[in-house]
A and B are shown apart, each in its own frame.
Chain A
């Protein structure tokens, strides 16, 4: 660098780099929306407040992209959980314009609104802002024993792996798509009032293993969910199935599970 602060000859920066030019071009063709982010710190706040930010978005901009832009440029303190950005890890569940959705799987352009309001998921304790605690979901998920229960093993010198026909797989495969994002539990009206309810996520997973013909733990699992705050407290509102980003239908799984308990499914 020279005495007057200028870069040496040959090292001068171009007035605008190609990436900057591209950014400016994209920015000029973008639309603007207002992003309202719920802010709440349980250690210091008594109620949640909203912070508003003007953000530029393109056709492909997701709500998570917008939140991260705000976090990078305007408010570093925003608490948000995310990881894969491709609807696989189930980390970025939140209430977007009143509906539980994955922020990385929701494009702002699809919301058809000039205002995007993001809040933490219902029926979960708030850690901070948009990040919620998953202890209850993980505990209920563990309780229903989400694994194949058998006395024998498929890995022996004499036997091959347990064979399944496509029809056998079809019975449970949609339920195996659960990413434990918690959106179904957030949408469930029973979860809102019954703090001991097992919840649609765990019940759908109970069905996933009960319907798997390799599993021998059906009776064990049915006993776990057949209790006062178990499967019978589902009112079949169906909101869990409406919000699932992976196409899992927990409401149907719960009704099919009830069939085992009522004795018309074996």
Chain B
């Protein structure tokens, strides 16, 4: 990532994703506590969340923000543990690929569920 972007740009994204994610998590918590949650973890209830497009957008935003922030955090931790250009490139690109894969898989789940393609 550092070969593609300056570290200060990466860190701006890192801080910004943390702040915005906190906002979305607050929305998520407000939605959860203002609705009955007795049966909220039942399969139909969980799928119903995705069928609400605004709520699906909130979940998608949280997925992207937390993935970007989390995988960059993991990259930073791993870079501090060990050094060396081969290792650092592996960590950087490994985290980038893992982040894209997680966002892609999570987005697929959100899109499929919101389009009613998931059945019990």
Contact = CB atoms under 8 A, between A and B. Distances in A.
Interface of A: 190, 193-197, 226-230, 232-233, 261-262
B83 A196 contact: yes
B88 interface: yes
By Cβ-Cβ distance, the 3 closest A-B pairs, closest first, are A261-B8, A228-B2, A194-B80
Contact of A227 (B2, B12, B83): B2
A194 B7 contact: no
Contacts of B7: 226-228, 230, 232
Contacts of A230: 7
A95 to B, nearest CB: 22
A233 B2 contact: no
A194 B8 contact: no
A194 B83 contact: yes
B76 interface: yes
Contacts of A232: 7-8, 10-11, 76
B79 A262 contact: no
From B12, B80, B81, B88, name the one whose CB has the most chain A CB atoms within 10 angstroms.
Answer: B80
20 contacts: A190-B80, A193-B80, A194-B83, A197-B80, A226-B6, A226-B7, A226-B8, A227-B2, A228-B2, A228-B7, A228-B79, A228-B88, A232-B8, A232-B10, A232-B11, A232-B76, A233-B76, A233-B80, A261-B8, A262-B8
Contacts of A227: 2, 7
Contacts of A229: 79, 83
Given A194-B83, A232-B7, 5 more contacts: A226-B8, A228-B2, A228-B79, A232-B11, A262-B12
Nearest to B77: A193
Interface string B11-25: 110000000000000
A139 to B, nearest CB: 15
Contacts of B83: 194-196, 229
Nearest to A260: B8
B22 to A, nearest CB: 18
B6 to A, nearest CB: 6
Interface string B50-67: 000000000000000000
A261 B12 CA distance: 9
Nearest to A233: B80
Contacts of B2: 227-228
Contacts of A194: 79-80, 83
A262 B8 CA distance: 7
Interface in B24-73: none
A195 B80 CA distance: 8
A266 B10 CA distance: 20
A120 to B, nearest CB: 22
A211 to B, nearest CB: 18
Contacts of B6: 226
A10 to B, nearest CB: 73
A245 to B, nearest CB: 27
Nearest to A192: B80
A196 B8 CA distance: 17
B16 to A, nearest CB: 10
A194 B12 CA distance: 22
A226 B11 CA distance: 10
A176 to B, nearest CB: 25
Nearest to B8: A261
Nearest to B2: A228
